[in-house]
Amino acid sequence: MDPRLKKRQIEQLAQEVEDLERLGPRDEESENEIERLRREVLELKREFFANLTAWQRTQLARHAQRPYTLDFIPLLFDDFSELHGDRNFGDDPAIVCGMARFRGRPVMLVGQQKGRDTKQKLARNFGMPKPEGYRKALRAMHLGAKFGRPVLSLVDTPGAYPGIDAEERGQAEAIARNLREMARLPVPIIVTVTGEGGSGGALAIAIGDRVNLLENAIYSVISPEGCASIMWRDAGKAETAAAALRITAADLLSLGLIDEIIPEPEGGAHHDHAEAANLLAPILERQIAELSQVPAAELLERRYVKFRKMGQFFSS
């Protein structure tokens, strides 16, 4: 069935349930019918979200109500103290950094932040960091390493900002430096892509010992629209490009590019931020506990091997 027809069917059934629930006193037969319809709606929703296309997951990853870094902070962390500025040029609101406690353990948090309304989007530069953002993130990570704090990175960006001012201040150099320095940071680094993981803009804070993706997040070297524009000279073929790019969590896990898929609440993380955080928390706690037992030298060697073997495919 066409996904749009399937979605319409679910909406119609859900509306029917809502109408029945608004009626006055109900007998046992009515209650049984409502309960049957509730189960049917739930089953249809599960089937629908289990079979989303890559393009549909891209739309979910970009949903305006999806939880961002500043939404996760009060749900996951205590005693958050934000750090500002790169000690070189200025502060970048597209990246949020700070010290915090996670389940009683001191950590360093680095995350990308989008905006929801026009004012917020402009203030956060649509979640696209400039060089000072990446340098601020690296400063925070070095500070975390100095005090032996694991680094937790929350990734959600369409990509690094491509404007002239960013290029003038060394965008490529800032990203490249982060890649090098994160590869040799002697503390556990746990990366979670919560929405869009776009190109080098995401990778600049995503060199980790563990890389997780939320169930409906995406991670790609280029956006589907950008890929379609290059390959077919037609951004309208983004849906075809999304499938070809293999950008979904299931695809990336099968290719060995990520370590774990984080389940989302029914219908997507945008429906319930608190539940999304509850599903993420135990996985982060387990991964921190595992990695904290590994000596620094071994941690660095494993990280090096992990990223060096990416992209190596063999066929018989």
Return phi, psi of residue 234, to 5°: -150, 105
Domain boundaries, the chain: 3-51, 58-308
Look up the pTM and report it: 0.85
> What class does CATH assign to 58-308?
alpha beta
Tell me how far apart the alpha carbons of residues 307 and 180 are, in angstroms, rounded to a whole number.
12
pLDDT tens per residue, range 98-112:
999 999 999 999 999
Return phi, psi of residue 205, to 5°: -125, 25
Residue from 128, 203, 210 nearest 163 by CA: 128
Q: Following DSSP, what letter does each residue of 231-266 receive, concatenated?
A: HSS-GGGHHHHHHHHT-BHHHHHHTTS-SEEEP--T
Whether the per-residue pLDDT at 1 is higher than 60: the answer is no
Tell me how far apart the alpha carbons of residues 147 and 129 are, in angstroms, rounded to a whole number.
26
pLDDT tens per residue, range 26-82:
666 666 766 776 776 666 666 666 678 899 899 989 999 999 999 999 999 999 999
Residue from 117, 186, 109, 125 nearest 157 by CA: 125
Give the pLDDT score at 312. Answer: 72
Residues 6+ apart with CB under 8 A from 262: 192, 212, 213, 214, 215, 279, 280, 283
SS3 179: helix
pLDDT tens per residue, range 250-265:
999 999 999 999 999 8
Residue type, 88: N
